Amino acid sequence: MSTTTATPRKTRALPPLMQVTETAAERLRRLYESGEQGKLLRIGVNTKGCSGLSYDMSWTDAPGPGDEVVNDKGVTVLVDRKASLFLIGTTMDYEVKALTSGFTFTNPNEKGRCGCGESFHV
């Protein structure tokens, strides 16, 4: 009688769902401590713009059943589960420029952006 044993396949580690830079974490801390005290930032992706998708951020009182909870640099951010496949490995930053400031996303899944930078496609 012969038996065969299959060696288990090694799985590679997945990148974190999302990371937050120290600059973004500091901005979130200030927001969480002031006007948005007691709330959490939820990040999602909507169908919008000339490239098809855009980042959507909103405030919520508590995680919902469809939220992934990301804890990084001492802050908590929620990611809409429907957007998680689009956001795996994304880094969220906060940039201050001469005329604008805001959260930005470096997303390794993006294949392109529209000319104005408001939307992307994967």
Give 44-95 pLDDT, tens digit per residue: 988 876 667 888 999 999 999 989 999 999 999 999 999 988 889 999 999 9
47 forms beta bridges with 53
Edge-first strand listing for the sheet containing 67-72: 67-72, 75-80, 40-47, 53-60, 120-121, 112-113
Question: What is the pTM (predicted TM-score) of this model?
Answer: 0.78
With respect to residue 10, please indicate whether it lies within any of the assigned structural domains: no
Amino acid of residue 77: V
Contacts of residue 41, defined as CB under 8 A and 6 or more positions apart, other chains included, come to 28, 31, 57, 58, 59, 77, 78
Domain tally, the chain: 1
Give the separation between CA 77 and CA 59, rounded to whole angstroms: 10
With respect to residue 30, please indicate whether it lies within any of the assigned structural domains: yes
With respect to residue 12, please indicate whether it lies within any of the assigned structural domains: no
Note whether 104 and 92 are within 8 A (CB).
Answer: yes
With respect to residue 42, please indicate whether it lies within any of the assigned structural domains: yes
> How far separated are the first and last CA of the chain, in Å rounded?
51
With respect to residue 6, please indicate whether it lies within any of the assigned structural domains: no
- Segments forming the whole domain that contains residue 78: 18-115
- The residue ranking higher by pLDDT, 99 or 122, is 99
What are the tens digits of pLDDT across the range 99-115?
888 998 988 877 777 65
**CATH number of domain containing 60:** 2.60.300.12
With respect to residue 3, please indicate whether it lies within any of the assigned structural domains: no
With respect to residue 122, please indicate whether it lies within any of the assigned structural domains: no
Edge-first strand listing for the sheet containing 18-20: 18-20, 90-96, 101-106
What are the tens digits of pLDDT across the range 46-56?
887 666 788 89
Count of residues for the chain? 122
